[in-house]
């Protein structure tokens, strides 16, 4: 909890007045959003694009001015969490179901800052099942197609019902084992009919801010 707070708050140091920022989703991004709310109250002028309905509500409650992605050309900075981060800054995201909007916002952003606690750092992605957003119409067929790529896929449930994303789709959580070629797998997945988006974020991250149990915070820069 404390590690998540430290990293979330640290990321807000990169925000300057007049920026348009993306706000991620999840329990680590939560602390960044809360901190941005405090900064806005003391004079920081920014507008934000939220990556989920949950984040939109949280940000609005914190007094942050929200804009639609359609209203902006690009975003200056986005702060978001991740479920796993490998040594090359490839990510698995979507544990909270927000991967589609998160990936769109990440792609529209100049600088993507990922905030995680130390438990998210891995050598290879894949211990965390990869979330893949699929259409309701095709999910059984698309599941079979995805499994042919070498995984077992489970339809995500919430309170004994099928989990439904903000975009009215389903999520398949896919166990691929160790993912040796994240960018390649991401491409293959998105070529399958019925796949809306997958949770691999390859080559998008500029900074990873890691919070440690002992209170340390490290800022890691992507090698360019």
Q: Tell whether 199 is in a known binding site.
A: no
Q: Which stretch binds ligand R5P (CB under 6 A): 25-33, 41-49, 66-74, 140-148?
A: 25-33
167 binding ligand R5P? (CB under 6 A): no
Q: Tell whether 211 is in a known binding site.
A: no
Which residue in 84, 102, 133, 197 is the catalytic one?
Answer: 102
CA 133 to chain centre: 13
Of 31 and 176, CB closest to ligand R5P:
31
- Strand 195-198 vs strand 170-175: parallel, antiparallel, or unpaired? unpaired
Of 120 and 143, CB closest to ligand R5P:
120
How far apart, in whole angstroms, are the C-alpha atoms of residue 181 and residue 175? 14
Least spacing, CB of residue 178 vs ligand R5P, in Å: 20
Q: Tell whether 95 is in a known binding site.
A: yes
Q: Tell whether 26 is in a known binding site.
A: yes
Question: Is 102 one of the catalytic residues?
Answer: yes
* Residues contacting residue 130 through CB under 8 Å, at least 6 positions apart: 92, 94, 151, 173, 174, 175, 176, 179, 185, 198, 199, 200
Least spacing, CB of residue 51 vs ligand R5P, in Å: 8
Phi, psi of 54, rounded to the nearest 5 degrees = -60, -45
Q: Tell whether 142 is in a known binding site.
A: no
Least spacing, CB of residue 148 vs ligand R5P, in Å: 25
Q: For residues 77-136, which are near ligand R5P according to CB under 6 A?
A: 80-83, 93-99, 102
Of 103 and 143, CB closest to ligand R5P:
103
Q: Which residues are annotated as a binding site for substrate?
A: 25-28, 80-83, 93-96, 120
Positions marked active-site: 102
């Amino acid at each position: 909890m404390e590690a998540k707070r430290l990293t979330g708050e640290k990321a807000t140091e990169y925000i300057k007045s007049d920026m348009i920022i993306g706000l991620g989703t999840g329990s680590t991004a939560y602390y960044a959003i809360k901190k941005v709310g405090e900064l806005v109250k003391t004079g920081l002028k920014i507008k934000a694009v939220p990556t989920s309905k949950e984040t939109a509500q949280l940000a609005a409650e914190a007094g942050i001015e929200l804009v639609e992605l359609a209203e902006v050309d690009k975003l200056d900075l986005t702060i978001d969490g991740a479920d796993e981060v490998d040594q090359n800054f490839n990510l698995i995201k979507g544990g909270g179901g927000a991967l589609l909007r998160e990936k769109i916002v990440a792609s529209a952003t100049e600088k993507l800052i990922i905030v995680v606690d130390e438990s998210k750092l891995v050598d290879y992605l894949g211990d965390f099942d990869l979330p893949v957003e699929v259409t309701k119409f095709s999910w059984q067929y698309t599941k079979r197609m995805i499994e042919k790529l070498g995984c077992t896929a489970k339809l995500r449930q919430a309170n004994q019902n099928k989990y439904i994303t903000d975009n009215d789709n389903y999520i398949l959580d896919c166990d691929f084992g160790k993912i040796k070629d994240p960018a390649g797998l991401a491409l293959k997945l998105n070529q399958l009919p019925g796949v809306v988006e997958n949770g691999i974020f390859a080559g998008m991250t500029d900074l990873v801010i890691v919070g440690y149990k002992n209170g340390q915070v490290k800022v890691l820069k992507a090698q360019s």
